[in-house]
Amino acid sequence: MTRKEQVQAVIDGIQQGRVLETFDQWYADDVVMSENGSDERAGKAANRAYEEAFVGGVTFQGADVLSVVVDGDRAAIEWVLRFTPHGGESVVQPQVAIQTWRGDQIAREVFYHA
């Protein structure tokens, strides 16, 4: 599977609402993730807990991809996420995810959003 196909598999999983399953398959055990380049979370367990809290706290309505760039072991995905926090109002959140891949897994991902 090429890097572009791997990135597309991650996109497909998210768009199908399989956020946690996609995370389990494609993220490295020592993955480092952050929001807007700060508050890094290290390790798969810590990042999965963060993802579980997000998924458990919202009704996910979908995710559109506006653009994808894959360059070697780096990928950038421009998303528009749609979700409603439990007890809240609908959110449309543009975001860019910058991924660094190592082998067949994501080793680092930074999400940039307002």
pLDDT at position 114 is: 86
Name the CATH architecture for the domain at 3-113: Roll (3.10)
This prediction's pTM: 0.94
29-68 burial, b if ≥16 CB within 10 A, otherwise e? eebbbbeeeeeebeebeebbeebeeeeeebeeeebeeeee
pLDDT at position 37 is: 86
pLDDT > 90? residue 13: yes
Encode pLDDT of 25-66 as tens digits.
999 999 999 999 898 999 999 999 999 999 999 999 999 999
Higher-confidence position of 94 and 114:
94
